Structure 1
Amino acid sequence: MSNLMDKVKGKVEGDKSSGGSTGPLKQGSKLPSVGMLKENHPVEANMDLGTLSGKNIIVSVPGAFSPTCSDQVPGYLENAEKFAAHGVKGIYVVAVNDQFTVDAWKSKLGGAKSPLVHFIADDEGKFTKAAGMDFDSVAFFGNRRSKRYAAIVEDGVVKSIWTEDDPTKVTVTSATNVLQALG
């Protein structure tokens, strides 16, 4: 397993091709508006991250149900009220998975407990690619996936962003780290 993880880490660090993006998200970047993504329905898309207003958190993960992602997201669920106390209107957990998988993962993690936390299926990877945050994870997940990152976004503009160098670890993208940055 370790050898496979090293391959995935190497792809994240070395993959510069993101298929039509304007480059990876960074401080000052505007979130891409690529059309609607899926939050509550497997066919009908209803969420455009590029049009979010106010202060929001974007947490993007390589894959729903993967062990590291399933360890990372509960911190955001458990601290949702603390985020709200800092003026956060929504926490958007984005995964390059189909809506059935994302919804089942949300249920398993108890995501319905907080209306502040939204689980978004970027099933075609459109948002992830446009944001320049995809990487070649064919060896591990079978397709391109999102890098593990967390961003504070205000009115669609990235104010702060953290990206993990190793997608199998949660360090800079933890809920604790993002909360500390909010002050």
Structure 2
Amino acid sequence: MISVGSSIPAAPGSLWVEKDNNTVSFPSSGKYIIVGVPGAFTPPCSSQVPGYVENYEKLKEKGISAVYIVAVNDIFVVNAWKEKLAKDSGVHFLSDSKGEFTKSVGLDFDASGLLGNTRSQRYAAVVEDGKVVNLQVEDEAPNVTVTHADKILGSL
């Protein structure tokens, strides 16, 4: 699992934004946030993400250049979720449909009993110049405590 001081791995070809085969590249310099969520449209995720959308300008004022929401869902579901939660927001919604990015950072878990496959743990990573400077991981997937946007904003 990634930890403070770890480098963020290169995004795999299956980590898409906006349309299929539109692979994401994370910045190599600057400060950004990656928020991993178990599933688009699930109640906890749909209550967590709006905090990052609503606080986007405040995050930018604290030096954050981008916010990436990563969900282990297909690009069509992720786009529909963004349309519902953050239509005109600068927050990036990423489809990790195969879970390859999530596995590469070691934050996957078996959610087959509820969500049908391996999913992402709920986490928030503040990354600066390609290295994790703050990592918060919820102890249970439904919880939104340490990864709440207000907590991350307050830590910057």
Same fold by TM (over 0.5)?
Answer: yes
Deviation at 1:52, TM superposition (A): 4.2
Q: How many residues align?
A: 155
> What per-residue deviation string (whole Å, max 9, x for no partner) do you get for residues 42-77 of structure 1?
x2232033x443100110100000000000000000
* C-alpha distance in 2 between matches for 1:90 and 1:134: 23
Question: What is the one-letter code of the residue matched to 1:132?
Answer: G
Q: Residues 47 and 176 of structure 1: is their aligned pair in 2 closer, same or farther, counting only changes over 3 Å?
A: same
Structure 2 residues without counterparts, runs of 5 or longer: none
Indicate whether 1:54 and 2:27 are aligned. no
* C-alpha distance in 2 between matches for 1:66 and 1:34: 24
Q: Please state whether the residue corresponding to 2:59 is helix, strand or coil.
A: helix
More helix by share: 1
* C-alpha distance in 2 between matches for 1:44 and 1:127: 15
Indicate whether 1:112 and 2:87 are aligned. yes
Identity within the alignment, %: 49
More strand by share: 2
> What per-residue deviation string (whole Å, max 9, x for no partner) do you get for residues 132-158 of structure 1?
000000001110000000011012100
Partner of 2:126: 152
Indicate whether 1:123 and 2:65 are aligned. no
Deviation at 1:114, TM superposition (A): 2.0
CA RMSD of aligned residues (A): 1.1
* Aligned residue runs from structure 1 range 26-45, under 5 A: 26-36=3-13, 37-41=15-19, 43-45=20-22
Please, what TM-score do these two structures have when normalized by structure 2? 0.96
Please, what TM-score do these two structures have when normalized by structure 1? 0.82
Partner of 2:143: 169
* C-alpha distance in 1 between matches for 2:83 and 2:28: 24
Partner of 2:115: 141
Runs of 4+ in structure 1 off by over 2 angstroms are none
The answer (yes or no) to whether the contact 2:11–2:24 under 8 Å persists in 1 is no
Structure 1 residues without counterparts, runs of 5 or longer: 1-23
Partner of 1:95: 71
